[in-house]
Amino acid sequence: MSNVKYAIVGSGTMGQEHIKNINLIDNAEVVAICDNHEKSINQSKKLFKNKVNIFESHIDLIQAGIADSYILATPNFTHFNILKDLLNTNAHLLVEKPLCTTVDDCKKFKKLAKNYPGIIWTAMEYRYMPPVARLIEEVNKGTIGDLKMLSIREHRFPFLVKVNDWNRFSRNTGGTMVEKCCHFFDLMRLISKSEAISVFASGGQDSNHLEENYNGEKPDIIDNAFVVVDFENGVRANLDLCMFAENSYFQEEICGVGDKGKIETFVPSDSSGKNSSELSIGLRGEDKIHSETVVVDKDILNAGSHHGSTFYEHKKFIKAIQKNSEAEVSLDDGLKAVAIGQAAELSIIEKRVVLLSELL
């Protein structure tokens, strides 16, 4: 395959980020977008140098048969039903996180997709942020020994405005722990190389969207939380989330501690204007801290809000298509990230430790 032809279902904020990044890749092009929201369509049109096909219905898009790869970037609650239709294409699928809003829907889709001939890749961009990828590489090399503790902090801006404000309600998103934090739970599984066995979380809605009202209904999405996840191999992981801290220099901080030392890195916020971050390693018994600067190309950085990760994810996705290899981020990865998020939501509501066996 000389050129990967993408069709994007859902041309809102994330769909447009995909367009910008695909524009930077020589052997890829967007041939169609599908959306029924005029503003999103018009915003997307401005990103193209050449004319693309516009569809209001994903069924019409599928029937046109003009793409060999589909990106699903519609609202979370629509994923399951659209994915069922996309299985009729036999094309390659890149599904924006979360895979579905519930573990049950993820399980159902995984079952439906058994023996599917195309690649189905769950879009977990945070794996591909350059400083995060470097941290993962060093942990995998055993630089800090056996990992014992993993800490992730995200202090950021509130949820963005989406079409019809669909993301203001947990029934549409799966809840903040699924919608936002499945990225981090995926990182925890990836870095620890283990499976979660229990989740304990404390969180609430304390600042954001409190004055909003939608036909007499107020938003119910969590805007801050602490989440502790225990893994089968003994690794303990912690998430510190705050979504009313938009004026933060670093949006994410990740720290891993092993029996030989500590590694940490930082992801600058968009508002910082930085295209680089520091990775540092401190080994036990040494006085010196080893550090390096991880730089992201500014054109790649400016193509989205995920510190260059969407570009690098597409490069990996295209490579998998060309080599006919398996997805780096599987349906099982997508399912288990949702499961940890759903367990965290349940833990906050019921104020108890939730075992993953209850959901899986």
| pLDDT of 308 over the 70 cut | yes
Strand 261-268 and strand 276-283: the pairing is antiparallel
Residues 6+ apart with CB under 8 A from 45: 52, 54
- Is 272 strand, coil or helix? helix
- Section 133-140 average pLDDT: 98
The edge-to-edge listing of strands for the beta sheet with 120-123 is 53-55, 28-34, 4-9, 69-72, 92-96, 120-123
Q: How confident is the model at residue 1 (pLDDT cuts 50, 70, 90)?
A: low
The domain 126-304+330-358: what is its CATH number?
3.30.360.10
**Residues 121/317, Cβ–Cβ less than 8 Å:** yes
Q: How confident is the model at residue 274 (pLDDT cuts 50, 70, 90)?
A: very high
What is the rounded distance in angstroms from the CA atom of residue 350 to the CA atom of residue 131?
36
Q: What residues form DSSP beta bridges with 199?
A: 229, 354
Cis peptide bond prior to 268, omega within 30° of 0: no
What is the rounded distance in angstroms from the CA atom of residue 164 to the CA atom of residue 24?
30
Residue at 67: amino acid letter:
A
- Could you report the per-residue pLDDT of 220-265, keeping only the tens digit for each? 999 999 999 999 999 999 999 999 999 999 999 999 999 999 999 9
| pLDDT of 272 over the 90 cut | no
Longest dimension (CA), the chain: 64
Homologous superfamily of domain range 4-125 = NAD(P)-binding Rossmann-like Domain (3.40.50.720)
Half-sphere exposure of 315 (CA within 13 A, CB side): 11
| pLDDT of 193 over the 80 cut | yes
- Section 279-306 average pLDDT: 96
- Could you report the per-residue pLDDT of 316-328, keeping only the tens digit for each? 999 999 999 999 9
- Section 277-295 average pLDDT: 96
| pLDDT of 53 over the 70 cut | yes
Q: How confident is the model at residue 2 (pLDDT cuts 50, 70, 90)?
A: confident
- Could you report the per-residue pLDDT of 61-119, keeping only the tens digit for each? 999 999 999 999 999 999 999 999 999 999 999 999 999 999 999 999 999 999 999 99
Query: What pLDDT, on a 0 to 100 scale, did the predictor assign at position 91?
Result: 97
- Burial category of 83 from C-beta neighbours within 10 Å (exposed 0-12, middle 13-18, buried 19 and up): buried
pTM of the model: 0.97
Residue at 38: amino acid letter:
E
Strand 53-55 and strand 28-34: the pairing is parallel
**Residues 41/35, Cβ–Cβ less than 8 Å:** yes
- Could you report the per-residue pLDDT of 313-356, keeping only the tens digit for each? 999 999 999 999 999 999 999 999 999 999 999 999 999 999 99
Task: Write out the two tokens for 6.
Answer: 């993408």
Task: Write out the two tokens for 193.
Answer: 């190389």
- Got the DSSP string for 150-208? EEEEEE-PPPPP-GGGGGGSHHHHS-HHHHTTHHHHHHHHHHHTS-EEEEEEEEE--ST
Query: What pLDDT, on a 0 to 100 scale, did the predictor assign at position 230?
Result: 98
- Is 328 strand, coil or helix? coil
| pLDDT of 140 over the 80 cut | yes
Residue boundaries of the structural domains of the chain: 4-125, 126-304+330-358
Question: Closest Cα partner for 158 from 195, 106, 209, 203?
Answer: 209
Query: What pLDDT, on a 0 to 100 scale, did the predictor assign at position 39?
Result: 95
Percent of the chain clearing pLDDT 70 (strictly above):
100
What is the rounded distance in angstroms from the CA atom of residue 351 to the CA atom of residue 13?
34
